[in-house]
């Protein structure tokens, strides 16, 4: 009879370490369909009503996934950066009353041109703002 409490020589061998799953390579995002490309490109312009962040986020997320979105989001972002310069100038001119008026003018111009650009882009047409400092090429 064997003693069940006796340790065999095989039980002194430590168990093998658990196997780590192989690291998965990041998967490239799928390209946008033509409809999605137009949709996100137009949203980049419409987001200009809220400020520069929607255009920036759309450009950073979708720039490599659709050429229309890349072009339109860059154009919208450049226009929003131009408006930021207008707001800075208006803030400096708040010392005189003209700064308050200029702030409203910059905001109205931004809303109007963002809507016009959205209406053009949703039809798949490229829109170029009449004035924009093109810092992002």
Task: Classify residue 52: in a domain, yes or no.
Answer: yes
Token couple for 31:
């390209």
SS3 for 45-78 is HHHHHCCCHHHHHHHHHHCCCCHHHHHHHHHHHH
- The count of domains in the chain is 1
Cβ neighbours around 84 below 10 Å, total: 15
Task: Classify residue 127: in a domain, yes or no.
Answer: no
Task: Classify residue 110: in a domain, yes or no.
Answer: yes
Question: Residue 7: helix, strand or coil by DSSP?
Answer: coil
Task: Classify residue 9: in a domain, yes or no.
Answer: no
Q: Which residue has the higher pLDDT, 65 or 20?
A: 65
What pLDDT digit, counting tens, does each position of 27-76 carry? 677 777 878 888 888 999 898 888 889 999 988 988 888 888 899 899 99
Close Cβ partners of 131 (under 8 Å, ≥ 6 residues apart): 82
Task: Classify residue 57: in a domain, yes or no.
Answer: yes
Among 2-6, 39-43, 133-137, the minimum mean pLDDT is found in 2-6
End-to-end CA distance of the chain: 85
Domain, as residue range, for 94: 32-121
Q: Which residue has the higher pLDDT, 95 or 130?
A: 130
Give this prediction's pTM: 0.74
Task: Classify residue 18: in a domain, yes or no.
Answer: no
CA nearest to 69, candidates 115, 105, 33, 98: 33
């Amino acid at each position: 009879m064997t003693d069940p409490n006796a340790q065999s020589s095989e039980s002194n061998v430590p168990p093998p370490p658990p196997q780590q799953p192989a690291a998965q390579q990041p998967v490239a995002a799928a390209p946008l369909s033509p409809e999605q490309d137009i949709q996100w490109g137009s949203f980049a312009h419409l987001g200009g009503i809220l400020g520069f962040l929607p255009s920036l986020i759309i450009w950073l997320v979708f720039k490599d996934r659709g050429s229309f979105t890349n072009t339109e989001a860059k154009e919208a972002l450049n226009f929003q950066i131009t408006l930021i310069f207008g707001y800075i100038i208006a803030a400096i001119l708040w010392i005189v009353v003209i700064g308050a008026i200029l702030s409203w003018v910059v905001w109205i111009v931004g809303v109007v041109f963002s809507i016009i650009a959205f209406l053009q882009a949703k039809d798949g047409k490229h829109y170029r703002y009449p004035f924009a400092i093109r810092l992002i090429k």
